[in-house]
Copies of this chain bind each other. A is one copy, B any other.
Amino acid sequence: MAAARHSTLYFMLGAKADGETNLKGLQSIFQEQGMAESVHTWQDHGYLATYTNKNGMKRLPPIVRGGAIDRYWPTADGRLVEYDIDKVVYDEDSPYQNIKILHSKQFGNILILSGDVNLAESDLAYTRAIMGNGKEDYTDKDVLILGGGDGGILCEIVKLKPKMVTMVEIDQMVIDGCKKYMRKTYGDVLDNLKGDCYQVLIEDCIPVLKRYAHEGREFDYVINDLTAVPISTSPEEDSTWEFLRLILDLSMKVLKQDGKYFTQGNCVNLMQALSLYEEQLGRLYCPVEFSKEIVCVPSYLELWVFYTVWKKAKP
């Protein structure tokens, strides 16, 4: 027998119809299927009959709709998942996006940008992964961070005695929100936009990258913490992929010949989107090679792919 299906059957009985007789007629059909029956009679007001198949009934937690707190933030691969969110900490619209910081009992505060779970206070695994998972030596290095407004990457790198870290974040309000509510992630590095070995520019990274490329400035590491690879696997308009390629091309231009470019990719299940991204890597102005790693970021509730890209050695 196939899995039981969920069906609601309505019977509109004429005034003179005998409900009990009708019910008896139906019973044999369900009983043939080996289903257990439970009938509730409300005097002359009708019947509620439930039929349960032999594997029993599995009760799922209900979806709570209309609450003041939205606990449902589907994964990138479109699965329904419920978070243990118990508080809205911050909820503002910036000129660029909706910025939410919600409190999860187990993950701490979670930054959600326009509906996408970005980073929670539990997610050091994300920051480590996008920095090369502890395999890089940042001492005395020149580093460029694109995005990264939550401050997690900046905070971890400045601990490693770099020469200079430049972070380019377009949205002052992300910094403002995280400064207040994601302290566990970034420490106090965002309290000042300038420190001994770092500076934060509140700017669109495209003109900054163009300026650096024009000036011939080069970095040992470029870390792209901007938007995720587009979820769509069939870009109707090429613009999203063109934007990604523009960022990649400009990043390669400001990357030293032996430098490394790190970025997050997508969830491991969106294989077509990942292939499309890898296709873009083959279409840059200079030949590159890449590796990828699958990482478990606690608050994502799905495995995530991170990329390392470098310039192919000159022959």
> Which residue numbers of A lie inside 8 Å of B, CB to CB?
2-6, 58, 60-63, 65-72, 74, 77-84, 105-107, 115, 122, 125, 267-269, 296, 298, 301-303
Q: Are B68 and A3 in contact (CB under 8 A)?
A: yes
* Interface contact B70-A268, CB-CB below 8 Å: no
Known: A60-B72, A84-B269. Is A302-B106 also a contact (CB below 8 A)?
yes
Contact check, B303 vs A66: say whether CB atoms are below 8 A apart. no
On whether the beta carbons of B303 and A301 are closer than 8 Å, the reply is no
Do B3 and A70 touch across chains, with their CB atoms under 8 A apart? yes
Extra contacts besides A60-B74, A106-B267, A296-B296 (16): CB < 8 Å: A5-B65, A58-B72, A60-B63, A60-B80, A61-B74, A61-B80, A63-B80, A71-B79, A77-B84, A79-B84, A105-B269, A106-B268, A106-B303, A122-B296, A298-B303, A301-B301
Task: Please report whether the interface of chain A is mostly helix, strand, loop or mixed according to DSSP.
Answer: loop
Q: Are B84 and A82 in contact (CB-based, < 8 A)? A: no
Q: Is the CB of B5 within 8 A of A301?
A: no
User: Complex formed: what's the CA distance from A264 to B50 in Å?
Assistant: 39
Q: Which residues of B contact A60 (CB under 8 A)?
A: 63, 72, 74, 80
How distant is A144 from chain B, measured CB to nearest CB, in Å? Answer: 30
List the B side residues contacting A80 at CB < 8 Å: 60-63, 80-82
**Is there contact, CB below 8 Å, between A6 and B65?**
yes
Distance A3 CA – B106 CA, assembled complex (angstroms): 24
Q: Which residues of B contact A3 (CB under 8 A)?
A: 66-70
